[in-house]
Amino acid sequence: MSGTERARFGRRHRRWLFLGGGSVLMMAAGAAVLERLVDFGSAIAWALVAGPIVGFEAWFYHSRRNLLPTAGAAMRVADAVTLVRGWLYAAVAGFVVLPPTTVVAWLPGLCYGTGVALDWFDGRIARRTGGGTRLGERLDMAFDTVGFLVAPVVAVVWGQLPIWYLSLSAARYLFKAGRGLQRCRDRPVHELPPSDRRRQLSGVHMVFVTVALVPVVPSGPLAAPAAVLLVPSLALFARDYLLMTGYLPRPTEQ
């Protein structure tokens, strides 16, 4: 084995070690914390929900490894940060089966809020290191979608947000399903233009859901801002769907 091949093998080995070891470590640490704070049964219940999501995230990374610049490329720091975000969102999902007791009630907001902060952080890292990779873009979109699903579900189950707020999470998956149906029917699928409004609304929703998950915030007053944020977001999804299917012409500016 040449020096170049050994270096490539080493980078690949470290990449999969981080992915596999980090996934196992996150699950073990989360279960250990809950076993100590609550009880063993709660730790198992949390793991049974969080575990499949961690597994999905590992599969997603593995199935898109061909998007790396080269087969033996090292994991970029921004991509590693995105994986950590994915693990935090998986941790949030596990709390859907636990009651919001005094200690547990703080954990989903802490995990999701940290993930939101890391979203800003990994974007800055990607820009400082010469831009993101195709793999990083796919990871970012997929894990954002996971976060937008699990965090509002926990907030709704715990009574912090109205159930109709979940229409935002549904809209994301309906959009993806519609795009897949277009491809299955061999119809054109148009790329969406960059949109500052899309990014801004997404960021506002992330912050809003984080606030909703903090137990000191009463649920009643959150219904009004939830509606105010939901209407333009659903309208933007509808517009993007029409752009993606070609029913609307691509705008020159967003």
Along the 254 residues of the chain, how does pLDDT read in single tens digits? 554 555 454 566 677 788 889 999 999 999 999 999 999 999 999 999 999 999 999 999 888 777 665 544 545 777 888 899 999 999 999 999 999 988 899 999 999 999 999 988 876 776 676 556 677 788 888 999 999 999 999 999 999 999 999 999 999 889 989 999 999 998 989 888 888 888 899 999 999 999 999 988 887 889 999 999 999 999 999 999 999 998 888 765 44
Q: Looking at the structure, do residues 189 and 148 belong to the same domain, yes or no?
A: no
Give phi and psi for 249, each to the nearest 5. -70, 150
* 102 and 203 housed in the same domain: no
* Domain that includes residue 224, residue range: 160-254
- Of 112, 132, 158, the residue that ends a domain is 158
The tally of domains found in the chain comes to 2
Same domain? For 145 and 185 the reply is no
Could you tell me if 43 and 106 lie in one domain?
Answer: yes
Instruction: Examine the domain organization and report whether 123 and 237 are in the same domain.
Output: no
The residue from 131, 158, 185 where one domain ends is: 158
Per-residue tokens: 32 = 């250990």
What single DSSP character describes residue 66?
G
Residues 195 and 122 in one domain: no
**Are 185 and 234 in the same domain?**
yes
- Predicted local distance difference test score (pLDDT) of residue 125: 74
Write down the residue that tokens 């219904």 correspond to: 223
33 and 91 co-located in one domain: yes
Q: Which amino acid is at 193?
A: P
Query: Does residue 124 sit in the same domain as residue 23?
Result: yes
| Stated pTM of the model | 0.87
Quote the pLDDT of residue 162. Answer: 94
Nearest to 42 by CA among 3, 118, 96: 96
